[in-house]
A and B are shown apart, each in its own frame.
Chain A
């Protein structure tokens, strides 16, 4: 694998705390993500990993802490702002638009690139060039993900692994600077996992995209990620390169289930 050079810090979360009613989901979590790296967030079930992604892209609003994205510090993100400023994501439970074809699903990832107003679209010709240009870009992604054959199939009819791939395609179509992947390999068989690993690595290499991913499969995480942050019970347990994290006693305890006393 070619050596990637990490750039500046693209996103940093500082002392994020989030709770629902009385239930604490995250307690004072801080970490940073650098440009072009693959950053994994791991931890046992209920550790607050998905909540962390939801905070980053503005779906949940933390009670405390701040988020610095591309040099601008805020107390919370807004989903629309996050999406229009280069944060795209996939979901743990696939969140595709089931009634639409693969092509249309991926095209929805381009909403920020398409400026033609409704009247232009209704008249067809004024919006035609924009539509074709974006279609060309989406076709690149379809080629990249090797899903040409299912281009016109409604996604509701696709097998699980394919749906995950289409969802990745939709996120990539937005040409994100930061891509959040919520368990991209959950529920996949070995072959599908290998495919997905390949795509994730190719994404950073070809497009230079920064990736933050949540994953359960420790083997996968240690293989593909550059740095790993470990959460447990909503608190940060460890942070570092895979080799360090693997040796960390607290991490081992959390995973093997040593009694908390």
Chain B
């Protein structure tokens, strides 16, 4: 009864283009934002902030990046892990080579560097598509991770290959990276960064560039004939996508794990982010968040649920179960709802709009 748009008329095109055109949605989003920025840091335990909220935020950001490339521009990539590693190591090199550089500058620049690398690996996308491109992106995955593992320059000649992220402050002595920063500070910094970047991404995908990407995704030949420049638009998708993924990689190393290691960005990471966007919804910014929440929460649920009902399952069994459940879910989602959780959410809203009188 409350969720109604009757009587809300849009009188201008900007109003019609708003991200949340319905008043109730705006209240809802305001409530979520309030909860995220105020209630969570006040109420959540350190465990929740560090092991759930931080990976959730970082993976959401990576998923937005991959969604731009795969969900919007239709270019399938299995190289997400490699690009995250690129962002992480770029941030490490930048912050150690230029200790004066502000942390926001470090993250932004590591995104830009990753964007450059992404463009290089995106060049073959002009001539190849679909599975061929997916295999080509595997090259970036394996090559980049190998590169960071093998060349000691990237780890500043650390003997173990594992290095801890340098602590950096946002202003004064409010540290937001490294192991000495408080979970609350890390969380609020990550949340702000992810929210701002998500908003920018939303603006892009609802604007002219977003339409160009979707046009290429839906029918590339027609897109070319109506005059969308193929190479430039595809490379732009690679650049923007890699920027987001690079920043996500830098945040993973600097904020979430506080250590920089190439092993964290193996092929499994690429699949994880791909699963997020399939489950959350291809071509949806909201879906990137929903999918990330799902992927982060499911393993925790799986390892805790059996104990709650008094069952004891060995750890490796849980890992295998996780594999099976993810696999089955992917298939289920592709069959039942290829647009993922985001689509289910909008169907629910549609129902709610009509409830309780469906006619």
Contacts and interface: CB of A to CB of B under 8 A. Distances in A.
Given A79-B224, A91-B222, A97 B215 contact: yes
A104 B203 contact: no
A46 interface: no
Nearest to A58: B225
Contacts of B280: none
Given A79-B227, A80-B227, A84-B227, A104 B214 contact: yes
B207 A131 contact: yes
B228 interface: yes
Given A108-B212, A114-B208, A170 B226 contact: yes
Contacts of B217: 97, 99
A99 B283 contact: yes
Contacts of B224: 79-80
A123 B208 CA distance: 13
Given A111-B208, A131-B207, A135-B13, A99 B218 contact: yes
Given A95-B222, A128-B14, A80 B212 contact: no
A80 B12 CA distance: 33
B200 interface: yes
Interface in B12-57: 12-14, 17
Contacts of A79: 224-225, 227
Contacts of B226: 83, 88, 108-109, 111, 170-171, 174
A149 interface: no
Contacts of A1: none
Contacts of A121: 203-204, 207-209
B14 A100 contact: no
Interface residues of A, number: 40
B207 A98 contact: no
A229 interface: no
A57 interface: yes
A67 interface: no
A6 interface: no
Given A80-B224, A124-B203, A100 B236 contact: no
A72 interface: no
Interface string B212-253: 101101110111111111000000100010000000000000
A99 to B, nearest CB: 5
Interface of B: 12-14, 17, 200-201, 203-204, 207-209, 211-212, 214-215, 217-219, 221-229, 236, 240, 283
6 contacts: A80-B224, A95-B225, A107-B211, A108-B228, A122-B200, A122-B207
Given A108-B212, A108-B223, A132-B13, 18 more contacts: A59-B225, A79-B224, A80-B229, A97-B217, A99-B214, A99-B218, A100-B211, A109-B226, A114-B208, A116-B207, A116-B208, A121-B203, A122-B203, A122-B204, A122-B207, A124-B203, A135-B13, A135-B17
